[in-house]
Amino acid sequence: MAGPVVYHVKLLLAGIAESLVFRVSREESQRIRATLDMGGARFIVFETTEKDMVAFSVGDIQAANFLFDLGTFDHERGEARIVVHLRGRTEPFFTTTDGAEEELAQAFRDLEVEEREFIHFTDEDGEDLVLRCDQIVCIVVPRRLLITNEPVDLHAVDETDDDGPPSESA
């Protein structure tokens, strides 16, 4: 082989006219495939080699193509903005954020491991954006918007959030 193998995940999602293609590591490609094979996930969250974070609704997958050695495929790279594809809308919703890295990281954790009705974060104007989880088809966030002073483990379970029954107190 002439050069390094390049891996892409190509998704055809309900409500989005164009296919979405993401360059990923070999490990991420294999993890996404294995997660689909196992079933049971509501969302799959992964990192692209361009350092974007992507979360997509498993229920909206019409097809997934795991590609390798595509050669010189070039993604369009714009500003550091968040792209949200919502069910039933043909055009994506664009927003940005400023200083809400911890909120965004928590939103991604909530999509993948929690059964929440809504996720939220603060946009660049300091206004709250609330998204209904069951209406999100795919969300793409530049990784640098998720970086905080603390390492972010998107697969960690938030142990401070106790959803158990309330304790009885006098």
Rounded to an integer, the average pLDDT of 69-73 is: 52
Given a cut of 90, is residue 87 above it in pLDDT? no
Rounded to an integer, the average pLDDT of 114-139 is: 79
Q: Which two tokens mark 79? A: 């500003």
Alpha-carbon distance of 86 to 92, in angstroms, equals: 7
Please give the pLDDT value at position 25: 94
The half-sphere exposure of 121 on its side-chain side, counting CA atoms within 13 A, is: 24
- The pTM assigned to this predicted structure is 0.62
Alpha-carbon distance of 5 to 29, in angstroms, equals: 12
Alpha-carbon distance of 158 to 161, in angstroms, equals: 6
Given a cut of 50, is residue 159 above it in pLDDT? no
Please give the pLDDT value at position 162: 44
Rounded to an integer, the average pLDDT of 133-149 is: 80
Q: Mean pLDDT of all residues in the chain?
A: 76
Residues in the chain: 170
Nearest to 139 by CA among 65, 44, 50, 33: 44
Amino acid residing at 81: R
The confidence band for 108, taking pLDDT boundaries of 50, 70 and 90, is confident
pLDDT in tens, 19-57: 899 999 999 999 998 888 888 888 999 999 998 999 999
